[in-house]
Amino acid sequence: PMERTMEYYLQKGFVPKMAAYFAAGRRTITEVVPNRDFSLTLTFDNGEQRILDVAPLLREGTVFAPLRDWNHFSRVYLDEDHAVSWDIDPKVDSKVVWSNKVDLCPDSCYVDSVPISGGEVRA
């Protein structure tokens, strides 16, 4: 079987940033902290901390628009798949009503975030 190299993922149609991420080995988010500027501080299973700017996603007419309200945005959590998640209605169980949740793909969270200066762990 072909080794899972960057070239392998590029041949599969991945963009270079995502190909490099998958070739290096996927990461799991272990903690999410909301920041007042509508970014998230993410901690990954290797101890690395990164900042994800969520503000560009919070456009009117999108599923993320309600998160422009800090009270909604600050209720972020990690679901059972370690995806960054928000319940649209906090009184509704999103495990029962799946359409009550909006979430972000953990792989995209890593690729689209930037390392916190001095917080990067080198393997």
Which tens digit of pLDDT belongs to each residue from 28-69? 999 999 999 999 999 999 999 999 999 999 999 998 999 999
Which tens digit of pLDDT belongs to each residue from 66-122? 999 999 999 999 999 999 999 888 787 777 776 788 999 999 999 999 999 754 444
CA distance 91 to 77: 15
- Going by C-alpha positions, the residue among 100, 119, 104, 118 that lies closest to residue 52 is 104
Residue 123 has pLDDT above 50, yes or no: no
List Cα–Cα distances, 58 to 39, 44, 94, 103, in angstroms. Answer: 11, 24, 20, 13
Mean pLDDT of 3-19: 92
The pairing of strands 29-34 and 39-44 is antiparallel
CA distance 27 to 20: 12
In the block, residue with structure tokens 């190909």:
19
- Going by C-alpha positions, the residue among 44, 25, 26, 24 that lies closest to residue 121 is 44
Both tokens of residue 37?
């500027």
Read off the pLDDT band of 2 (50, 70, 90).
Answer: low
